[in-house]
Amino acid sequence: MRTFKNKVALITGAASGMGKYLAINLAKEGADVVICDVNEDGLKETEKIIKSYNVGSSLLVLDVRNKKEIEELPSKIIENHGKIDLVFNNAGVVIPAGFLNMKEEDWDWCNDINYNSIINFSRSFLPHLMKDEETALINTSSIFGIITTPNNTVYHASKFAVRGFTESLIKEMEGSNTQIHCVYPGHIGTNIAVNAKFGNQISKGESKDGILGLNGEPIKDIKGERVSEEEAGVRFRDAGMDPDKAAKIILRGVKKNKKRIFVGIDSKLMELSQRLLPDSYWKIMSFTLFLGLLFSPHRLKKVINLAINKKS
């Protein structure tokens, strides 16, 4: 895809994080933008920035679990904007919890947002994308769709599923006018950890080797100080890659028609370690993450500042 100018793009999860900056950067390049999220206030902030670039825009307060609304979306967008060229399935959530102690409704909630919504958007929009030249479907998996950690079972399951679906679709759509992309973000500075829905059936003795800690108990930061789950989420966000930079990497990947788009040196290094050491990559994960920081001096500085300055 040579340019985004005069394209019409749909982005889910556009109230914050990568989705917000995908929308803003697409607008900068002259695309009409349709933004979706359940967070209306966040969407309005994104829309305000988009409108400063004098492009067409639509704001849709939408729960991506609502299959009926998704099925009706293509006709609404085409009616308002004349066509649809790009669909970014970006919405995602996380529940740090072990499998055996997770409520079934929590499992379904996470899967419905992270995976089933992508199936439903793909099924609804692909027939329309295939009618025009230079169109694209972009699905967000995660580096956690390639590697695993304890106590994030549902997140891994959903992101592995996105990976499998999208990479299979890439093969099925070869030779068509519609590009298919699978995005693998590493540690990005978004609110996904801040807004994490923590499993509330975790036994007191269960391991806390997941992303943030479990069961509402304080966890330890880099300095060994105890912090709440919410504070841990904030620190996790603040130490990540700037979501604006992440969005730019994704858009460059779409322009270059990269089927797999790895976002961040940590994402690339962890994927490499999984291929080279499939049975033991987790043993060197901390070292791999440290290498990622060394290759990203700005993020390393942020992590050091957080370790020095943050108080529990």
Catalytic amino acids?
Answer: 155
SS (HEC) of the chain = CCCCCCCEEEEECCCCHHHHHHHHHHHHCCCEEEEEECCHHHHHHHHHHHHCCCCCEEEEECCCCCHHHHHHHHHHHHHHHCCCCEEEECCCCCCCECCCCCCHHHHHHHHHHHHHHHHHHHHHHHHHHCCCCCEEEEEECCHHHCCCCCCEHHHHHHHHHHHHHHHHHHHHCCCCCEEEEEEEECCECCCCCCCCCCCCCCCCCCCCCCCCCCCCCCEECCCCCEECHHHHHHHHHHCCECHHHHHHHHHHHHHCCCCEEEECHHHHHHHHHHHHCCCCHHHHHHHHHHHHHHCCHHHHHHHHHHHHHCCC
